[in-house]
Amino acid sequence: MVRIIGLDPGLRHTGWGIIEAEGTRLSYVADGAVHSVNDDDLATRLLQIHQQVLAIFDEFKPDEAAIEETFVNKDARATLKLGQARGVVMLAPALRKVGVCEYAPNLIKKTVVGTGHAEKDQVKHMVKILLPRAELKTADSTDALAIAICHAQHRGMKALKMKLEP
């Protein structure tokens, strides 16, 4: 059995979701979101996110982590801030010696729903079907659970590929 944390980074809200996978069987463990204070300066907000995500790693002790790849907005400043938030989120598993896999948003949707252009409601519906005990506390934590599900489905392929490559 492997414990997987999915992370959906954001500067205001970073969603997290934890599942356990044993073969093809998935079990819900927990989900939630961490937040930064909008009025604080950027460095302080990044520290708030990092400390909260690190506390989640210390509490739930995941074996593997998965994170959504950054997409580029029309607003370059917003994209840069998202990238910075993503960086501090990725620092937590690195500090705890937990491997991190990255997945494109379309692959996450395709894995969970069956189509890469699924709507948020479709993703939420499928997460609830795949993890019936999930609390789905926020939209961000629902996305994080979808990321964890995606990783659970693709992790075996990644391990096999690593074994086959010289």
Single-letter code of the amino acid located at 48: Q
Question: Among this protein's residues, is 8 annotated catalytic?
Answer: yes
List the one residue out of 60, 18, 9 whose CA is nearest residue 149: 18
* SS3 assignment for 62-129: CCEEEEECCCCCCCHHHHHHHHHHHHHHHHHHHHCCCEEEEECHHHHHHHHCCCCCCCHHHHHHHHHH
Question: Among this protein's residues, is 68 annotated catalytic?
Answer: yes
68: left (phi over 0), alpha (psi -120 to 50) or beta: beta
Q: How far is CA 24 from the centre of its chain?
A: 19
| From 20, 31, 39, 68, the catalytic residue | 68
Rounded to an integer, what distance in angstroms lies between the CA atom of residue 94 and that of residue 43? 20
| From 31, 64, 140, 143, the catalytic residue | 140
| From 8, 31, 64, 143, the catalytic residue | 8
Q: How many C-beta atoms lie closer than 10 Å to residue 101's C-beta?
A: 15
Instruction: Please give the positions annotated as active site.
Output: 8, 68, 140
